[in-house]
Amino acid sequence: MREVDFTNFNPDNKKKGNGITFLRFESGKTFKLRPFGSCVEFYKLFIAKGKPSIIVDPGDKDEAATLLSEATGKEIRPSYRNAMFVIDREDGKVKILEGGFQIFEAFGNWSTSSGIKPGAGQAGDWAITVTGEGVGGSNPRKYSPVYMGPVMFSNDEKKQISALKAADKLKLGNYLKETALSDVLTAAGFETQATTTQEAVPAAAGDAELDW
């Protein structure tokens, strides 16, 4: 897992716990969010219903997909994902926004045109409208992000974020554990090994920057 450089963001070239939860989207609703801190990128491999999804470093995605494809007898493709911390305007809580191109490409395009990182103090709120159900089919899930304008962090929000950071709860690697390539099959439930290694992102990547 590595931090995204929004000054050179081009996804076309990319072929819970501790008191913080993942944001759960519902179709037919608009979610208002305030991103903050850094954004990370990683790859997730979805195997089958009842099997855990596997998170791997971008450098391991192809080999991991090959291992899982051979084990399952079907093609497993790595899915490019991003994640960052946000403040959910509905309840004021800090949550983790994880998603794919539809959301984060909009963040990247805005960042490129504005010269501001989406999680910076000079940035602001986003409204993400969710429609459709599931993947594929006649009515696939769609995310429509719209930048609402600059919004500075309030004093209460600064205190909340600072307290979480002091408690070491603002590292995305604590919530999105990468599986080492040697342990991919074990983590997916295909073979048994003595230990399974899950690596957190380095402290510098995904550690929320307190940029007011």
All domains in the chain, ordered by first residue? 2-199 (3.90.198)
Instruction: Give the model's pLDDT for residue 2.
Output: 66
Q: What pTM was estimated for this model as a whole?
A: 0.80
Which residue has better confidence, 102 or 195? 102
- pLDDT confidence tier of residue 203, bands split at 50, 70 and 90: very low
CA angle 60, 120, 127 (to 5 degrees): 85
13 pLDDT higher than 80: no
Rounded CA-CA distance 42/59 in Å is: 9
Instruction: Give the model's pLDDT for residue 211.
Output: 65
Structure tokens at 178: 């990468």
Q: Could you read off the pLDDT of 54-100 as tens digits, one per residue?
A: 999 999 999 999 999 999 999 999 999 999 999 999 999 999 999 98
134 pLDDT higher than 80: no
Number of CB atoms found within 10 A of residue 108's CB: 22
Number of CB atoms found within 10 A of residue 196's CB: 14
Instruction: Classify 4 as helix, strand or coil.
Output: coil
194 pLDDT higher than 50: no
DSSP structural state of residue 8: G
Instruction: Give the model's pLDDT for residue 69.
Output: 94
Rounded CA-CA distance 132/140 in Å is: 5
- Average pLDDT for residues 21-26, to the nearest whole number? 95
Q: Could you read off the pLDDT of 115-130 as tens digits, one per residue?
A: 999 999 999 999 999 9
